[in-house]
Amino acid sequence: MNATLLQKATACHQKGELQQAAEIYQQLLEMDSEHADANHLLGLIAHQSGKHELAVQLILKAINKNPSQPMYYDNLAIVLRTMGKLEDAANCYQQVVRIQPEHATAYQNLGNIRLQQGKLPAAVAAYQLAIRIAPDNACALNNLGVAWLKQGNLIEAEKSFREAMRAKSDYAEACSNLGLALKNQGKLEEAETALKQALTMNPDDAGSHYNLGNVFMSLGKLKEARETYSQALQIRPDYTEAFRSLSNLKRYSDIDDETLRMEALYNSPDISHEKQMHLGFALGKIYEDVGVHEKAFAYLMQANRLFRSGYNYDLAEDKAFFDLVTTIFDQDFMQQHQDCGNRDQTPIFIVGMPRSGTSLVEQILASHPQVYGAGELLYLKQAILRACGNAPGYNFLKNIETFRQDDFQHLGSAYIEKLRSHSTGATHITDKLPHNFFYLGMIKIILPRARIIHCQREPLDNCLSIYKNYFSDSQRYAYQLDELGEYYHFYQALMEHWHHTLPADSIYDIQYEALVADQETQTKALLKHCALPWDEQCLSFHKTNREVKTASAAQVRQPVHQRSVHLWKRYEKHLQPLIKSLAGSGN
């Protein structure tokens, strides 16, 4: 009889007749309160009805009765994930694969949770196990690519997305993600092709339109970028990332209809914090353009607060890394390793805090016929991480003390090989990843003839510019003024260490304010330092057609201007936490 009732209940359940199904499950439980299937399935109905706590209780009863049934853990994980209890859900999927080791979907779902948690190595491992069991699992391949992409491993990301498309040729999401991976490698024409292909598969995918807009922005095709962002917004009117990107494409002279749309969305009662954050950065920029600085800062402050509330950050951990760098790369260590490395002169490293003029300096140099501007490259840190055995956290640097001379030589050669993939003919290739300032000691050891350009800017203007911008790679120190000031002090102390520790003339300092005040004089001095002959094209850098992937993509398409010099004074009363933090650090 129980079997007949269960069959009748599941038939009702499958037809969506939840009330009838629930009544029959209850009948079964009145006869046997520990009936595993009845508790499990009644738990699913509770979940479908939004009663998640009850669902957990019922499914746990089923598990207590029959702990070897993987389906129970699988469905419990779904409920827990809906409740935001990600680690508990992950534990359930681990139980599934303990009982059924070849359960590819459970590994895939475990990977999805680790991806959501930001535990990227664990996500990669889970997806790889799913793919080992089911090599043609297109979804797992795509998600593996996303995990690689978030880790900055663009080569593996591209490979995974291509394999996902081989498994499922009309997989628009994988094709769009492929475009993103190609864009981040600087393969802009291939990225454009992939994204357009994704849009032929799914013309209504706002994300593909948005990513294509970013490609156009990197190429300096600002008109096409604006049109493509607008298409994304036509499909998804609340696509706040597109609004934020649009706001960076022009200088506003008044509050237009587009701005009013943003404000209406910003003030809507059901808007998420993430969407409000993106709009806050956009509206802050717009109101600064039109000169309403009080309102601009109110939007910017709220945007930063919303972003900062979304993660834990301990400034002491960053301080420990700065201290570790200066401890390892002291004068004795540098002198002991001065004859190591690859003596290739190709690289020009452009370092400094974000928004200090690194994009402008690279654009000027890349306008020279002997220089290729490669943008922000992750090769150096990735090579160091690999050489250090991918040790967790900041401790990876400690392994450098065990390196032999040929280890440093190999690191330099591996970097040059990667760098040359961008251009085989250029005399010099730039790498303008700002935070490479951490690795100037390593650069001097593995590439002793590389040039290092250090971009400096008035500290308050520099920090304000950071605070005004959204960083897709989430510079965690950037969204609270006192933390930003402290981090800036750490950076300054490290640069003082490098100037004191590295051989004289290792670092060329260029001041943003001097560059925008007298571009020609400063550019001539910069080229002289790089042993490059004078070329007039460097004065027309804004006409150079090359990719720029940072927040400065639109700015470097304009001639130099001094609008941002001393801009901090407009916001002085709001910047007191930053001012006090910098003053306490001696600035």
Q: What is the pLDDT of residues 476-507, one digit of tens each?
A: 999 999 999 999 999 999 999 999 999 999 99
Helix ranges, 152-247 (H): 154-167, 172-184, 188-201, 206-218, 222-235, 240-247
Would you state the torsion angle of the CA atoms of residues 129, 131, 133, 138, taken in this order, to the nearest 10 degrees?
Answer: 150
The pLDDT of residue 323 is 96
Range in 203-217, 418-432, 473-487, 536-550 the model is least confident about: 536-550
Average of per-residue pLDDT across 84-103: 96
Query: Using CA atoms, how far apart are residues 437 and 452, in angstroms rounded to an integer?
Result: 9
Nearest-10 Cα torsion for 138, 139, 145, 147: -160
The 8-class DSSP code of residue 435 comes to: G
pLDDT at residue 38 above 90? no
User: Residue 394: pLDDT above 80?
Assistant: no
Torsion of CA 112, 116, 122, 128, to 10 degrees: 30
How many other CB atoms are there within 10 angstroms of residue 86's CB atom?
17
pLDDT of 557 > 50? The answer is no
Strands 428-431 and 347-351: parallel
Residue 474 is predicted with a pLDDT of: 65
Please state, in angstroms and rounded to a whole number, the distance separating the CA atoms of residues 224 and 428. 31
- pLDDT given at position 382: 81
Distance of CA 510 to the CA centre of its chain: 28
pLDDT at 5: 79
Strands 451-456 and 428-431: unpaired
Side chain identity at 254, as an amino acid letter?
Answer: D
Please name the amino acid found at residue 367.
S
Where residue 313 falls (left for φ over 0; alpha for ψ -120 to 50; beta otherwise) is beta
* pLDDT classification of 393: cutoffs 50, 70, 90: low
Q: What is the pLDDT of residues 295-329, one digit of tens each?
A: 999 999 999 999 999 888 999 999 999 999 999 99
Which residue type, as a one-letter code, is found at position 452? Answer: I
Asked whether 179 and 195 are in contact (CB, 8 A), the reply is yes
* Average pLDDT of span 548-567: 61
Confidence of residue 556 (pLDDT cuts 50, 70, 90): very low
HSE, side-chain direction, 13 A CA sphere, residue 34: 5
- Which domains can be identified in the chain, with CATH numbers? 315-557 (3.40.50.300)
| The pLDDT value given to residue 545 | 58
Query: Which has more confidence, 183 or 429?
Result: 429
pLDDT given at position 326? 97
Name beta bridge partners: 507: 452
Ranges 47-61, 148-162, 369-383, 452-466, most confident: 452-466
- On the question of pLDDT at 21 being above 60, the answer is yes
Structure tokens at 539: 């004065």
Question: Is residue 40 a contact partner of residue 75, using CB atoms and an 8 Å limit?
Answer: yes
H helix or E strand, kind and range, residue 451: strand 451-456
CA–CA distances in Å: residue 40 to residues 16, 64, 67, 78, 79: 17, 11, 12, 13, 12
The 3-state DSSP composition of the chain as helix, strand, coil percent (nearest 5) reads 70, 5, 30
Task: Report DSSP letters for 470-510, one per residue.
Answer: --TT--GGGGSHHHHHHHHHHHHHHHHHHHHHSPTTSEEEE
* Tokens describing residue 410: 């190999």
For residue 23, give both structure tokens.
């009544």
- pLDDT tens readout for residues 461-474: 999 999 999 997 66
Q: Please, how many CA atoms are within 13 Å of residue 328, restricted to the half-sphere of its CB? A: 21
Q: How confident is the model over 251-275, as a mean pLDDT? A: 96
Mean pLDDT of all residues belonging to the chain: 92
| CB-count exposure of residue 561 (10 Å: 0-12, 13-18, 19+) | exposed
Least confident of 15-29, 110-124, 543-557: 543-557
Q: Is the pLDDT of residue 335 over 50?
A: yes
Report whether pLDDT(36) > 90.
Answer: no
Residue 480 φ/ψ, nearest 5 degrees? -140, 125
Question: At residue 562, does pLDDT exceed 80?
Answer: no
| Whole-Å CA distances, 482 to 13, 132, 234, 477 | 56, 48, 39, 9
- pLDDT given for residue 218 in this prediction: 86
pLDDT over 90, % of the chain: 75
Q: What is the 3-state secondary structure (H, E, C) of 529-549?
A: HCCCCCCHHHHHHHHCCCCCC
Side-by-side strand order, sheet with 507-511: 371-373, 428-431, 347-351, 451-456, 507-511
Q: Indicate the pLDDT class of residue 392, thresholds 50, 70 and 90.
A: low
Three-state SS for 286-299 is HHHHCCCHHHHHHH
CA–CA distance, 52 with 483 (Å, rounded to integer): 39
